[in-house]
Amino acid sequence: MKFEDICETHSPPCDLTQVPRVSDSWRIRNDGRNIVAYKCSVLGHKFKVLSPFEAACIPLFDGTLAFAEITEKCIELFDPPERVQEEFIIRLHKIFEGLLSIEGFITLEGGISPSLRKKTDLIPDFIDYRFPAPRLERPLSVMIAFTNRCSCNCRYCYAQKKVCEEADIAQWREVFDECAANEIYLVDIAGGDIFTREDCLDILHEMVSRDFTFFVSTKSYLSDGDAEQLAEMGIGIKEKIAPTLYRKVQVSVDSADDSIASYLVRKPGYLDIATQTTENLISAGIYPRIKSVLTSYNATAPADIVHHFTELGVKEFDFVLYSRSYYCHDDSLFLSMEQKIELHRMAEALTKVFPSLHMTFQDETTSGKPLNMTCEQWEERAVCSGGRSNMIIQPNGDVTLCDQIPHEAPFIVGNVFSQSIIGVWKSRKLEEFLYPDRKKFSGSVCYDCPEFDRCMQFRGYCYRDSLFYYGSIYDAPPECPWQEKKAPRKT
Ligand code: SF4
Ligand code: SF4
């Protein structure tokens, strides 16, 4: 049977004359034992380890071949016997269908992924191919806390704010070089406010020069000169920048009433600081997102914040609710149910009044209800990225696997300055942390859980929540369907 006849009998999932390409928001990395495709964005980051068959096909999605030509090339490549060719093509088209169903991965127009444009080596070791791979061969992203210092001292802060020695820029350069050599492009900023470091712009420059993707959030005052330097580096600028290199800038402020804004961050005149910073950024061509944490003190702040900052030109807002923190929690900051309902109404009204703005509101009206997921939801829970695809580097080079667990033993799994990033990633200590011995869970529901090995090996569990709610990482989080202990209020 001829190729065209097969396509006629089994209608393919796509128009075979169309020319697909891996989108310019995605990168592809050859990890030797498998191929990883990922959306190169700090906020919308997702990844997929490709099956061997997908891995073999993907270099053909470079925007030069139509689906029909890709099909023919695959036939050439795999050379299936004549008698199974029909089935081969049908399967191939199912694979195309699967790739097309990954949101934004394959597109039919627009730019092409830099990984395919540069003709990077994308042929892995197919004999020893590892699939599925719940843990990557090397990190896909690292978050670096260059400092734990902040310019404010927010009442709702969730960070540990540990006083910590800070590595200098020469040391960070070595870390950056290792990231670049290992195609780790998602190098984000964690910890305190990077602008409290004198060398912050130099650090950012080093990151930009290696094509790293990151997110810049601040409560520091940025002068017009600072803003211009950021703009010159392309930080916060969307136009003429490849989507994989877009680095959003965020200014945090919690009220358009200065007495409340200043009270919440314990800094006098804070509204003015945030307003001037925003003005300076916008004059330099950077349109920051405004982020607000809503507490019982500023539950109705969004309307005034939106009015105040849209007048300056801001187009994006993010409103989140105060939630329990491990280090300095205060129950009085929680919103009441009435406030949450009022906020829900306000969000609807603002969305109607400002349809062109991009606004996100955390809509939470579930406090008091048990957090346990159903078994089906639990099966589909988000994978804990710590140690599977991501690691956190503390200001002194120590590595932890979650940015919210304490920077202290037993949560430190290594140090990048004494071991290198890959040295830590492959270390026994990290592995032991990631796959703990069942005995450590004695007294918890995990100890007798028949799912224990699968749970630890594949998706993992949120040990931050176990620690925050029950005081130990060796316990099930409140979302686990088998956790029976009542969790304290979260938001
Ligand atoms: S968190 Fe514990 S109890 Fe829940 S599925 Fe995992 S091992 Fe089992
Ligand atoms: S422990 Fe929880 S918060 Fe931390 S990385 Fe894992 S899932 Fe995320």
Which ligand has the minimum distance to the alpha carbon of residue 378?
Answer: 1
Computed from CA positions of residues 279, 280, 282, 283, in that sequence, does the dihedral angle turn out positive or negative? positive
Cβ 184 under 6 angstroms from ligand 1 = no
CA angle 355, 40, 317 (to 5 degrees): 25
Residue type at 432?
E
Q: DSSP label at 240?
A: T
Are 156 and 325 contacting, i.e. CB atoms less than 8 angstroms apart? yes
Instruction: Provide the pLDDT confidence category of residue 285 given band limits of 50, 70 and 90.
Output: very high
Q: Token pair of 208, please?
A: 């930009």
Task: Assess whether the C-beta atom of 425 lies below 6 angstroms from ligand 2.
Answer: no
Q: Which residues contact 370 (CB under 8 A, 6 or more apart)?
A: 478, 486, 487
Supply the pLDDT for residue 370: 75
- For 202-224, what is each residue's pLDDT tens digit? 999 999 999 999 999 999 999 99
Q: Whose CA is nearest to atom 1 of ligand 1?
A: 476
CA dihedral 322, 325, 328, 330 (to 10 degrees): 50
Kindly list the distances between the CA atom of residue 410 and the CA atoms of 55, 140, 196, 385, 461, in Å, as whole numbers in the listed order: 38, 24, 29, 18, 17
Residue owning the nearest CA to atom 2 of ligand 1 = 446
Pocket probe mutation, ligand 2, options 160, 325, 385, max atoms within 8 Å of Cβ: 385
Distance 143 CA to ligand 1 centre (A): 27
480 pocket-lining for ligand 1 (C-beta < 6 Å): yes
Distance CA 336, CA 178 (A): 48
CA nearest neighbour of 27 among 206, 235, 212: 212
**473 ligand 1 Cβ < 6 A:** no
pLDDT at 12: 67
Neighbouring residues of 195: CB distance < 8 A, sequence distance ≥ 6: 151, 218, 220, 222, 226
Instruction: Give distance in angstroms: CA of 442 to centre of ligand 1.
Output: 12
> For residue 367, is pLDDT > 60?
no
Q: For 451-460, how does the pLDDT look when each residue is reduced to its tens digit (9 = 90+)? A: 999 999 999 9
**Per-residue tokens: 83:** 């008698």
Q: Is the CB of 384 under 6 A from ligand 1?
A: no
* Residue-wise pLDDT tens digits, 297-347: 999 999 999 999 999 999 999 999 999 888 889 999 999 999 999 999 999
Whether the Cβ atoms of residue 267 and residue 151 lie closer than 8 Å to each other: yes
CB atoms within 10 A of CB 373: 17
Cα distances (angstroms) measured from residue 165 to each of 29, 146, 350, 398:
34, 10, 44, 11
H or E, element range at 418: helix 416-419
Query: How confident is the model over 352-377, as a mean pLDDT?
Result: 88
